[in-house]
Copies of this chain bind each other. A is one copy, B any other.
Amino acid sequence: MEQKARLAIDMDEVLADTIDKFIEVYRQDHQTEILLEEMSGKEFHQLLPAGLDHSWRAYINSPGFFRDLKVMPGAAEVMPELCKKYDVYIVSAAMEFKNSLVDKLDWLEEHFPYISWKNIIFCGNKIVDVQIMIDDRIRNFANFKGRSLLFSSPHNHLITEFERVNNWHEVATKLL
Contacts and interface: CB of A to CB of B under 8 A. Distances in A.
Interface of A: 6, 89, 95-96, 98-99, 101-102, 105-106, 116-125, 127-130, 143
A89 B143 CA distance: 15
Contacts of A125: 89, 118-119
B120 A123 contact: yes
Contacts of A117: 95-96, 124
Nearest to A118: B124
Given A101-B102, A128-B129, A129-B129, A95 B123 contact: no
23 contacts: A6-B127, A89-B125, A95-B118, A95-B122, A98-B102, A98-B105, A98-B106, A99-B102, A101-B101, A101-B102, A101-B122, A102-B102, A116-B124, A118-B124, A118-B125, A121-B124, A122-B122, A122-B123, A123-B123, A127-B129, A127-B130, A128-B128, A129-B143
